[in-house]
Structure 1
C-alpha cells in the first residue's frame, strides 16, 4: 500500500494544483489543462507505466482487441448521449465545465493536443491503471469510487458536471476492470475524442481563417 501511495502522490498533487488553478485562473483553463495532461503523461512515461511499443503490439493484436475497443467506444458514446439528455432536461443548471477558449492557431494546436492526444493517455493511465490496483482485491470497490470522483473533479467542480463526468467514466471503468488492459480504454477514449473534438478543431480552424 505504501508503494501504491508513493506512486500516486505526484499525480494527486498535480490534480490538486489543477483544481486550485481552475478556481483561481479560469481564464487560463486551456493552458492549465494542457500542462496537467502533459505532466501526467510525462510522469507515467518516466515510471514506465506506458510503452509505445506495448501500445503498438496491442493495436496489432488482431480482431479480439478491436472488438473490445469497439464496444468500449460504443458504450462511451451512449454515456455521452445519456448526459446530453440530462443536460437538456436541466437547461437552467450550470454543469461547471469551463469552455476551452481558442483565439489563435497556437491555442488551437494546444486545444487539439490536449483534447485528442494527451487526455486519453493521461486520464486512462492515472484514473484507471494507476488508481485501480488489482493487487488490492478487497479495496477495489473503494479504489473505483476514488478513481471516479477524481476523474469527475478533473472535469467539473459543480454537482451536475460531477454527475456527468461520473457517467462518462462508467464504460471506461468497466472495460478496464474486465480486460485489465489500459490500452483498450486508451484507444477507445482516443477514438471518441478524435471524432468529437476533431470536429471542434475543424470548426475552430475555419473560424480563425
Structure 2
C-alpha cells in the first residue's frame, strides 16, 4: 500500500489552500502571526507553516491558548500580537470559542479591527462565533471542508443508543460527555444518572 500523507498535509497541498497561500504571499513583507488552541490546531499549524515558508512568507508571534482560558489569558495573547506593529494578519488554528474569545479581547483592548483573522474549519459557518462581534471580524476569512448533509447517516446517528453500539467502544463515553450524565459503570466526576428520556443523540 502506498504511503499516504496525513490529512492535514494533504489539505494544505490542496488547490484551495495553495491559492490562499499565494494570496498570503502578498503579506510576505510583514510577518504573519499564528495562534493555535492546544492539540486542536498544532498539526495544521505545522503543515501550514512549512508550506508558507516555501512561499517566502515569514512569521512573527506564535501563541497557544486554550478555548477555556480566561479573559486575562486572551488579553495577554493580544498584547503579544501588538508587539509586532507591522504584522496584522493572524492565522488561527482554533476552535470556534477560541476565535470568539480572541476577538472579544481585541475589543476589550480597544484594538478592534487591527488584525485580519484567517480561521480554520473550527470556525467555518458558525454564526455563534461572531454573534454581536460582526464589526470586529470584518474582512476575516474562514475556511471549511465541503461536507454535505447525508440523510442516511443523519438517520443512523439519531437512532444510536448508549447500550446498542457494540462496534463503538467510545460511544458510551461520548454519550456521557454530550449529556453530562453517568451511565453508571464508572463515575469519577460524580455526574447525575442519565435520564431515560435521553433515548437518542
Instruction: Please classify the TM superposition score into its range, dividing by the shorter chain length.
Output: under 0.3
Normalization by structure 2: what TM-score?
A: 0.23
Q: What TM-score, normalized to structure 1?
A: 0.22
Which of the pair has the greater relative contact order for Cα pairs under 8 Å at 6+ separation? 1
The structure in which a higher percent of residues are helix is 1
Of the two, which has the highest radius of gyration?
Answer: 2
More strand by share: 2
